[in-house]
Chains A and B, each alone.
Chain A
């Protein structure tokens, strides 16, 4: 052996250690992969050796390689070997490796259960510590279930070092095994008042994390936390507690009122920015939850805003960022108080840090009013021009649209201005948000009737200048606006002045380079246009002109018939035939315009985005039922109905990366829209902005002038939005003057005052009348639509499982599983068997006195209870007959709850426990388990349950040994001596003791007779009682149970 050791250490000298490996990798920069594969081969050799030091070294190296990105899952078993090393040095490395590379999918992880349990109960606190740390990284539901009880025991460990770790890891256990929360919670709560500040802070951490997810279950803890908050000086703890209150207050507004004062005090006094920030955040949350009725409500908001202003003005970028972030939270409920800091926020738009600019943009959303919208947007437009990098510019673009379109275009007074802003935005090269602009154009044109004439003229201009927009169609998202332009021109063609010219523009050969879905819209809408021109000409009696236009269509349409895009081709050929037919009729001088225009008759009304969802399902209609048998093949790719709903949902959820590539998505959407547009029975939904973020593919900046140098950058005839700003000002000024006049007439005496008032430029929002009479059509909703939205909660939320009511008493079935047979190692000798049991019995002992007092006080009450209990017992007995498995009836649990013994070691949950014997005083059940360590021993666990109202003590268990089976007795005692049960039983309490038996043969079933003797002590005195029983050893009971893992 010694030789082997020496040999091992000599071997080691020639092995690479970690430092050599790192050095080697650094020296082989060119052929790193080759070097590492060589090293891995060496490591594999090392792992085959017996020497644990060599193995540990190898595992250590593997951990390093894992970090470099190499797969080491093949070594999982070796890692477990190193974990189970007896020396701390190796164990530490083993656990480190495990924590780095084990995850739920690691199959060998189930082999670690016993090892971890052993380490958890190790006398060396660092062994325990390292096991807990490791476990926190790779705990699985199985491990959590099997070890929950062990960890819970550690929460009461003597050393704070262990307690602290055990408390923290409980959170991970709860997440994996939610059933453990209720049994463990009382102890966790105890730890809030642990003498060690570290443990206390750990408990605060865990409860705060739990409460954040499911606050309503933790409301009852609020007073305790309030006390902690006012007494604690530890900022780490304070932050957590304050965060917790932030989660609780929405549920309990009264709490909020109480909180405001200490929180504002903290805000005033603390110098720690993190604490200040947390306080401000929570105060905001509190104020949001308090709708009204707070006296110094505005004072605290003002304080928050002031403090945030200080943060934003700080030169530190981090604080600036956070200040803006918190400000945006205030904005939602108290826009007024934020609006006064508009200057500061606009200033942040010029910050050199992009993330700060983005935050400031978020805030702008809430700062706009009817009065300043144009001004703010103008500023943003300047930024758009200046912005480098497409990401930021795209963000600006979406923000402009968001700001303008918010709450149903509430702040827009002049839609002509808005349309021109949109048209100006189309000049952005390389933006990906063409569809967004298009959607806005469509929405405004459809919903604001008054603007249609203007919109159509602008769109016609866009179509005319399509070559500028669509210079690079394939990569340019902006050409999407042509889709909107074509549709608007077609649909509202009656407003077109130069319809012929627009039709020509749409028929240009260049159009065929546009994406298919846009061409399809072109084709469809040129027919609308054609129809209206035809009607116009016919009414005017210009037959030749009408025939000319038909001829033009027939000449130009074939270019679309040849399109590679199916949609375009199909529509074009269909329409071509139609027009040829019209031509025939025209030649015969038949008036056709009426019939052609009838193709597109009727008006489109906007429909609310959620309207479809809200149509109530008629009674008796089962939407999930199959109409036909489901098709067996999976080929059906008809995803259209799906995508419709998918789209609708996305609008309200956070922006996420589209799963399909953009083109595909766009094509589908367009196809759908097209389909809807064609369907005369379909009421067109109003497109609403849809945010989408994409990874930017680097800077794709394509200069505008690239195509045609003679074309000026400013598209001729395109209005500049700026001019509207001036116009608007003038208009307002006029309005004001008019009003002034009126007022002057009305109140001549107060003229002076009014004049000053007006010159101060303090007209209220309502004073600004919109330029045109704008009637925004509200979106239609189906009749008897469902009033409320269902919450779209994520069913996969991992924290949902922890939504557990903690105030309910613990039911029997919820007890943590205790796997006794694994403890068997501790039972090798009867002496060692006793300690764990004794620990358990301590608590009941402590409670003895209390119980006695209680009994005296409430003697009469108890009697009543007793009667009641007996009734229940009878019932439960009946149950037992039918279901032998449940020996711990619920009534028993309820009793123990009354006695406050919740924290006692939980009993095994379900059981293989069988009835041993029973009398009015006591009931005993037992279970037999094989011993893992010793083949010739079995452990009998007996649960003693005191059914009486008396105190049971001096219990002694004795068995008549047979030849085959003998009870293991302490050395020196004779075979006739009984073994004392190491605890006493107060009324209603049950506890468990274990006895070890040795046996010769496992193929013989045995029945051992035995007696339990005990003393019953009550108010009348004490009596000696006996209970005979038969202990039945079946052959099966010698089997060792092993947990099964899937």
Chain B
């Protein structure tokens, strides 16, 4: 994988991870170009596109687009799976993750990504292990900091949270393998099954579907 970008429907970059060394200028150019191309695509279109000599695999989760660039011979479906896996990880870590979680805790989102992928390759296929590593590293951080910061209060202006809807693998039409002792299940869910639901989250945690 060459790079991963997360951006919002408005085209705002939320996360970027480059596994190939590029200058800032190039990165910006690529980002701008890709965000435009991907946002211009209609929802029913397939998640792959050829771009320069790379293949772009993207997927939309609620208001966020996850977009990966892979090389010619790479497997598109496994890339979709990687994206989905990452979203699941975020979801588990933050607890029904939403765009705001990623904005306000962007460093955490990076840390999770770094535990999951390294140098563009999947490093840990077991969700459990990734979360364990992150939790332990966090614990290390907490013990070092005298004043531990517990949950972050979001500003009142952005109290509504639209959760990224993450379908548990069991609901998917071809959920692959059981996640036996942290081993690697591969699920690729067809996009049409993917209903995007928005949730409003009131501060007390009650949810209602909009």
Contacts and interface: CB of A to CB of B under 8 A. Distances in A.
Contacts of B137: 88, 92, 126, 129-130
A161 interface: yes
B10 to A, nearest CB: 11
Contact of B119 (A9, A168, A274, A355): A168
A64 B185 CA distance: 33
A236 B174 contact: no
Nearest to B59: A318
A322 B77 contact: yes
Contacts of B121: 168, 171, 202, 205-206, 209
Nearest to A71: B24
B91 interface: no
Contact of B77 (A99, A273, A355): A273
B48 A322 contact: yes
A204 to B, nearest CB: 10
Nearest to A103: B21
B202 interface: no
Interface string B144-178: 11010000100101100000000000000010110
A278 interface: yes
Contacts of B157: 26-27
A198 interface: yes
Nearest to B145: A89
B49 to A, nearest CB: 6
A318 B129 contact: no
Interface residues of A, number: 83
A654 interface: yes
B136 A239 contact: no
A147 to B, nearest CB: 14
Contacts of B80: 274, 318
B75 A239 contact: yes
B25 to A, nearest CB: 10
A169 B123 CA distance: 10
Interface string B178-208: 0000011111101110000000000000000
Interface stretch (A15-23, A401-409, A612-620): A15-23
Nearest to B177: A235
B70 to A, nearest CB: 12
A105 interface: yes
A314 B190 contact: yes
A124 B186 contact: no
A96 B42 CA distance: 34
Contacts of B18: 137
Nearest to A198: B124
Interface in B81-119: 81, 103-104, 106-107, 110-111, 114-115, 118-119
A177 interface: no
B106 A205 contact: no
Contacts of B124: 164, 198
Given A26-B155, A67-B106, A273-B174, A88 B77 contact: no
Contacts of B16: 67, 100
Contacts of A243: 73, 75
A875 to B, nearest CB: 44
Contacts of A22: 103-104
Contacts of A60: 107
Contacts of A316: 190-192
B22 interface: yes
Contacts of A273: 77, 174, 188
Contacts, number: 192
A569 to B, nearest CB: 41
A278 B110 contact: no
A237 B137 CA distance: 27
A204 B63 CA distance: 36
A321 B48 contact: yes
Contacts of A105: 23
A577 B24 CA distance: 60
B174 A272 contact: yes
Interface in A126-179: 126, 129-130, 132-133, 136-138, 140, 161, 164-165, 168-169, 171-172
Interface string A1015-1042: 0000000000000000000000000000
Contacts of B24: 71, 73, 101, 103
A317 B176 contact: no
Given A67-B106, A212-B73, A318-B47, A96 B111 contact: yes
A205 B123 CA distance: 9
Nearest to B146: A9
Contacts of B176: 235, 271-272
A26 B158 contact: yes
A165 B133 CA distance: 13
A274 B118 contact: no
Contacts of A9: 147
Contacts of A315: 190, 192
Interface string A50-78: 00000000001001100111010100000
Interface in A78-114: 87-89, 92-93, 96, 99-101, 103-105
Contact of A318 (B46, B103, B118, B155): B46
Nearest to B13: A67
B22 A236 contact: no
Interface in A204-243: 205-206, 209, 212, 233-237, 239, 243
B151 to A, nearest CB: 11
B8 interface: no
A317 B44 contact: yes
Given A27-B157, A138-B21, A271-B174, A321 B184 contact: no
Contacts of A73: 24
B122 interface: yes
A197 B180 CA distance: 13
Interface string A185-201: 00000000000011001
Contact of B122 (A205, A277, A352, A353): A205
Contacts of A236: 78, 122, 125, 184, 186
A67 B15 contact: yes
Contacts of B15: 67
Contacts of B103: 22
Interface in A611-669: 654
A319 B188 CA distance: 10
B133 A161 contact: yes
Nearest to B82: A236
Given A165-B118, A355-B49, A88 B144 contact: yes
Contacts of A301: none
Given A103-B22, A277-B77, A272 B186 contact: yes
Contacts of A322: 48, 76-77
B48 to A, nearest CB: 6
B210 interface: no
Given A69-B28, A87-B144, A19 B190 contact: no
30 contacts: A19-B152, A63-B106, A67-B13, A68-B13, A71-B24, A87-B144, A96-B111, A100-B16, A124-B140, A130-B137, A136-B19, A137-B17, A168-B119, A168-B123, A198-B125, A198-B126, A209-B121, A234-B125, A234-B183, A235-B186, A246-B73, A271-B174, A272-B186, A272-B188, A277-B76, A318-B77, A318-B80, A319-B190, A355-B49, A654-B53
Given A99-B114, A198-B129, 5 more contacts: A89-B140, A92-B137, A101-B24, A233-B177, A274-B75
Q: 3 shortest A-B CB distances, which residue pairs?
A: A274-B77, A316-B190, A317-B46
Interface of A: 9, 18-19, 22-23, 26-27, 60, 63-64, 67-69, 71, 73, 87-89, 92-93, 96, 99-101, 103-105, 124, 126, 129-130, 132-133, 136-138, 140, 161, 164-165, 168-169, 171-172, 197-198, 201-202, 205-206, 209, 212, 233-237, 239, 243, 246-247, 271-275, 277-278, 314-322, 352-356, 654
Interface of B: 13-19, 21-24, 28, 42, 44-49, 53, 73, 75-78, 80-81, 103-104, 106-107, 110-111, 114-115, 118-119, 121-126, 129, 133, 136-137, 140-141, 144-145, 147, 152, 155, 157-158, 174, 176-177, 183-188, 190-192
